[in-house]
Amino acid sequence: MSKVVLGKEDREDAVRRLRAYFERERGEELGELGATLLFEFLAEEIAPHFYNRGLADAQSLVARFTDSLDADLEAAKVFPPRA
């Protein structure tokens, strides 16, 4: 699996959100470096679990869709009259 890389703006937003979370929920000021290191840890160690869950959900959705499509196509078949 290739590494999922976020753009600069998304990374900055995530770090900003981590800092705000620590301030709001824990009353702690998390510095830029600390928040960046925490973000990198989460991205490398935790995010793959969510990514894989998303892929599994997508696979399930596609499978249900193709099953439904297969049933619709089967129902659309036209057979010649029996002699």
Per-residue pLDDT tens for 8-53?
999 999 999 999 999 999 999 999 999 999 999 999 999 999 999 9
As a whole number of angstroms, the distance between CA 75 and CA 79 comes to 11
Report pLDDT for 49. Answer: 94
Please give the pLDDT value at position 52. Answer: 94
Structure tokens belonging to residue 9: 């703006």
The predicted pLDDT at position 2 comes to 66
- In the numeric block, which tokens belong to residue 15? 């770090």
What is the C-alpha to C-alpha distance for residues 61 and 15, in angstroms, rounded to an integer?
32
**How much is the pLDDT for 61?**
92
Give the list of residues 6+ apart from residue 6 with CB closer than 8 angstroms, or none: 14, 43
- DSSP for residue 64: H
**Amino acid identity of 37?**
L
